[in-house]
Chain A
Amino acid sequence: MDFSYELFINAIVAGLLLGAFYAAVTSGISLSFGILDIVNIAHPAFIILGSYIAYIVNQNLGLDPIVTCILMLPVFYTLGAAVYQVYYFSFEKRGQEALRGLAFFFGLLFITEVMLILVFGVDYRYVDASYIGPTWNVGFVALPLRMLVPCLVSLLLIALLQLWLTRTFTGRAVMAVAQDQLALQLMGADPVQIKRVAFGISIATAAVAGAFLIVIQPVEPSVGREYIGRVFAICVLGGMGSLPGTVIAAMLLGVVESFTATFYGPSWAPAVAFGFLLLTLAVRPAGLLGR
């Protein structure tokens, strides 16, 4: 394929838009894996669950998927808090999170996927919304609204999350719980409760990410698997638990994937994230903005 300036710029813009979406997908993992050290590999399953809820509500009530997911936030928060409660009593308290905790999340991932297949089948599902069709054109740069809307909402979401983490007592306590539980207890906060709140919020972000996902592309139950490599690659590359790092890493991955898809073909894109992950682990395990 011959190189063209316009294609180049378009690939970068498409990559940045995609990256903002990846950042939303990863923000939950940055909270749970990056800060709390809970290796929640079932996170993509919760995202797909969010997609399917957005799909059901959209098909039956005609409600906008992103509005739906914002209404679903309390439900997902409760779900996350419940999952953490089970995880804490079964694994963390007994000190078995390394082997059995991982197997537990793997089981959750698997059960969710198979249940969705049993209920909905493996057909691709999609939603209707006014911004899915049209594209804005700024000069020769194409800005598809179905990418632009999730991108903007995603950046807003992450900004709010970052404000919460750095400006509120609970948020700071979340940052602290990873560093020194005893010191946190001396400040009068219960580490388990703080972790439960944080894990609940991490799952709540999955509802939003799920809505974005089904806006961007049609969804079937096993799509989530493609995101496992991506989210962890971004989380590690960004520097565990750093939200600004997550955004930068996500944009970087988005652009590289977009280039790969444009110049080599979309079937190679999933391999890019893995290359990123291995490279980061081998060269700089602390990530870009890691401490």
Chain B
Amino acid sequence: VRSRTFFLLALLVGAIVFGITVLIDNNYLFFAGYVVLQFIVLATAWNILGGYCGYVNFGSAAFFALGAYTSVAIHKLSPMPIPILIIAGGIISGIVGLGMGYLTLRLRGAFFAIATLAMAVVLQTLIINWDFVGGSRGAYVIRPNVVPVLDAYIQWPYIQYLFFLMLLLAIIAVTTARLIERSRLGFGFASIRDDELAAEASGVPTLRLKLIATTISGGLMGMAGAPFPYYIGYIEPAAAFGLSYAVNSIAMPMIGGTTSWIGPLVGAILLGTLQQVATVTISSAVNLLIVGVLLVAFVIIAPKGIVGLVEDRLRARGKR
């Protein structure tokens, strides 16, 4: 399928999902759905660097929080429409990703991974010490109840508006990932993942490609974080930098499968839904444990993830 057709199809699927959610007319569904969609964006973003290039980013939470705190900072100065905040969050996180990548990507992959892990701690320290965005006390972001559309003729409940934006963002992220996968850029990324030295020797501009991947990946994570303060209403560093974002954005692609755009999508939907159910029925600590155990189990037993398992099964059937 051509990319434009794919995008239109994705929009159609999105419209159907949105339509069904509106028809069911249960506010909880919007709140839960928003979180799952947010994880789709994060997992897809992580996979652009992690799955395609083979570089592990442990700082997803930091990029996410950077987007969220960009929104808070702008909100304190003068409130702006959320789409603008999303773009601003994306730009800031993208720039930080580029800077981090520039300093560490010239070295071995492990250094980049460690640096992202450490970066999360440092950014959290900075935010805790920055009183303007609430410091360690956190900040309240009061959101209106409804959004006026078409000069206030139709009133749109705010959570539906946020859900809609996140749905759009998820569609854009997945389409971008698919586009990259099938372009020259994607082949370049794959060559880095498979054998960086050989790629370099064949004239692939590895550093530039890695920087592009880091920037796109970080930018998308920041975009996912930008509407977060409006969703949650009260933001504090420990919540925004929560380890659950970091572990989920790694676990979801790993469980789904890292080589194509379907993997993170499948992983995010399955794991995201599972966690929403587990949080309500058991407890939030137990659901994090489930994610951790699943991650370890999958990387040991099924390195190609669910998508890999299904493909193997189909291939085996085809041979028979």
Contact check, B288 vs A107: say whether CB atoms are below 8 A apart.
no
Contact with A along B210-241 (1 / 0, CB 8 A): 00000000000000000000000000000000
A110 at the interface (CB under 8 A from B): yes
* B129 in contact (CB, < 8 A): yes
A interface, CB within 8 angstroms of B:
33, 39, 41, 86, 90-91, 94, 96, 98-100, 102-104, 106-108, 110-111, 113-115, 117-118, 222, 225-226, 228-229, 232-233, 236, 267-268, 270-271, 273-275, 277-278, 281-282, 285
29 CB-based A-B contacts, threshold 8 Å: A39-B110, A39-B113, A90-B299, A90-B300, A94-B303, A98-B109, A98-B110, A99-B54, A100-B303, A103-B56, A103-B299, A104-B296, A104-B299, A106-B56, A108-B296, A110-B295, A115-B289, A117-B285, A118-B289, A222-B243, A228-B118, A229-B114, A229-B117, A232-B117, A268-B125, A271-B121, A274-B122, A278-B104, A285-B111
State the B residues within 8 Å of A (CB). Answer: 50, 54, 56, 58, 103-104, 107, 109-111, 113-115, 117-119, 121-122, 125-126, 128-129, 243, 247, 250-251, 254, 258, 285-286, 288-289, 291-293, 295-296, 299-300, 303
Bound-state CA distance A110–B111 (Å) is: 20
Which residues of chain A come closer than 8 Å to B258, judged between CB atoms?
Answer: 99
Asked if B58 and A106 sit within 8 Å, CB to CB, the answer is yes
A274 to nearest B CB, angstroms? 4
Contact among A117, A225, A281 with B107 in the assembled complex (CB-CB below 8 Å): A281
Interface pair A228/B129, CB less than 8 Å apart: no
Bound CA–CA A19/B119 (angstroms): 22
Least CB separation from A37: chain B residue: B110
- Determine the chain A residues whose CB is within 8 A of the CB of B288 once the complex forms: 110, 114
B117 partner residues in chain A, CB cutoff 8 A: 41, 228-229, 232
* Among candidates B115, B118, B128, B295, residue contacting A103 with C-beta atoms closer than 8 Å: B295
The one of B113, B121, B296, B303 in contact with A102, judged by C-beta atoms closer than 8 angstroms, is: B113
Other contacts beyond A104-B296, A274-B118: 9, CB < 8 A: A41-B117, A98-B110, A103-B254, A106-B247, A107-B251, A111-B289, A118-B286, A236-B111, A273-B118
Q: Is the CB of A270 within 8 A of B250?
A: no
Min CB gap B263→A, angstroms:
13
Task: Verify A107–B107 contact, CB threshold 8 A.
Answer: no
Residue pair A229, B118 in contact (C-beta under 8 Å): yes
Question: Measured between C-beta atoms, what is the minimum distance from A178 to chain B in Å?
Answer: 14
The residues of B that contact A41 with a CB separation of less than 8 Å are 58, 113-114, 117
Closest to B124 in A: A270
Checking A102, A225, A233, A281 against B104 with a beta-carbon cut-off of 8 angstroms, the contacting residue is A281
Contact A233 B118, CB 8 Å, known A90-B300, A99-B54, A285-B107: yes
**A267, B113: Cβ atoms closer than 8 Å:** no
Q: Could you say which residues of chain B place their CB within 8 Å of the CB of A228? A: 114, 117-118, 121
Q: Specify the main secondary structure of chain B where it touches its partner.
A: helix
Q: Which residues of B contact A99 (CB under 8 A)?
A: 50, 54, 56, 258
Contact A110 B243, CB 8 Å, known A98-B109, A267-B129, A271-B126: yes
Bound CA span A33–B114, Å:
11
Q: Say whether A107 contacts B114, CB under 8 Å.
A: no
Tell me which residues across on chain A come within 8 A of B119, comparing CB atoms: 274
Shortest beta-carbon distance, B252 to chain A, in Å? Answer: 11
Query: How many angstroms between the C-alpha atoms of A116 and B129 in the bound complex?
Result: 28
From A115, A274, A281, B111 is in contact (CB under 8 Å) with: A281
Whole-angstrom distance between the alpha carbons of A232 and B116 in the complex?
Answer: 12
**Separation in Å of the B195 CB from the closest CB of chain A?**
11
> In the bound complex, what is the Cα–Cα distance between A118 and B288 (angstroms)?
11
Chain A nearest CB, measured from B55 CB (Å): 8
A75-B54 Cα distance, complex, nearest whole Å: 35
A100 in contact with B299 given A110-B243, A232-B114 (CB within 8 Å): yes
In the bound complex, CA of A86 to CA of B300 (Å)? 8
A282 to B104, CA, bound (A): 7
When the two chains form their complex, are residues A39 and B114 in contact, meaning their CB atoms are under 8 A apart? yes
User: Knowing A86-B300, A102-B110, A103-B254 touch, does A110 contact B104 (C-beta < 8 A)?
Assistant: no
Distance in angstroms from A263 CB to nearest chain B CB is 15
Q: Using Cβ atoms and an 8 Å threshold, which residues of chain A touch B50?
A: 99
Q: Once bound together, how far apart are the Cα atoms of A267 and B247, in whole Å?
A: 25
Closest beta carbon of chain B to A48's beta carbon, Å: 14
Q: Are B121 and A274 in contact (CB under 8 A)?
A: yes
Q: Which residue of A lies closest to B113 (CB)?
A: A102
Q: Report the separation of the CA atoms of residues A282 and B296 in the bound assembly, to the nearest whole angstrom.
A: 32
Contact check: which of A110, A232, A278 meets B103 at CB < 8 Å? Answer: A278
Across-interface contacts of A94 in B (CB, < 8 A): 303
Instruction: Give complex CA distance A39, B288 in Å.
Output: 23
Whether B107 contacts A277 by the Cβ 8 Å rule is: no
Contact B121 A225 (CB under 8 A): yes
Query: In angstroms, how far is the closest chain A Cβ from the Cβ of B237?
Result: 11
- CB pair B292–A114 under 8 Å, yes or no, is yes
A69 to chain B, nearest CB (A): 26
Chain B positions within 8 Å of A113 at CB level: 243
User: When the two chains form their complex, are residues B118 and A110 in contact, meaning their CB atoms are under 8 A apart?
Assistant: no
Q: Which of A90, A100, A225 contacts B254 (CB 8 A)?
A: A100
Chain A: CB-nearest residue to B294: A107
- Please indicate the chain A residues that have their CB under 8 angstroms from the CB of B299 in the complex: 90-91, 100, 103-104, 107
Q: How far is the CA of A107 from the CA of B300 in the complex (A)?
A: 11
Give Cα distance in the complex from A259 to B109, angstroms: 32
A281 CB contacts on chain B under 8 angstroms? 103-104, 107, 111, 115
